[in-house]
Amino acid sequence: MFYSILEILRIIVLLFIFGGLLSTLLGYVYSSLGFNLKNMEYAWLAWVAIFNLFFVLYRNKLQFSGWYIGKGREKLSKRTTFILAGSAVLLIIIPPFLSSR
């Protein structure tokens, strides 16, 4: 039970770090293209992409270095990884095209 709570806290901290770094990077990329991430009405798609990428990263790498050692610890299939990562890339590309400058 204690290790489960520690693992949840670890996931939250890692998500904040990963999400913060990637959203900052996306903000710079979008602003260099002439878009403001805060004023984009479809910026939430980029956040969904960040969560997708974090999920793939956690399930394929990070879960094996954590405190929790229990059932269900297996990597995503290559097909699932490809679909989630590909959809994340599309979700990152789409917001500038849907939003007005």
Chain-centroid distance, C-alpha 72:
21
Asked if 55 and 61 touch (Cβ cutoff 8 Å), the reply is no
pLDDT for 29-59, tens place per residue? Answer: 988 988 876 777 888 899 999 999 999 999 9
Asked if 94 and 42 touch (Cβ cutoff 8 Å), the reply is yes
Residue boundaries of the structural domains of the chain:
2-98
pTM of the model: 0.86
CA angle 22, 34, 24 (to 5 degrees): 15
pLDDT for 72-94, tens place per residue? Answer: 778 999 999 999 999 999 999 99
Tokens read off for 69: 């050692």
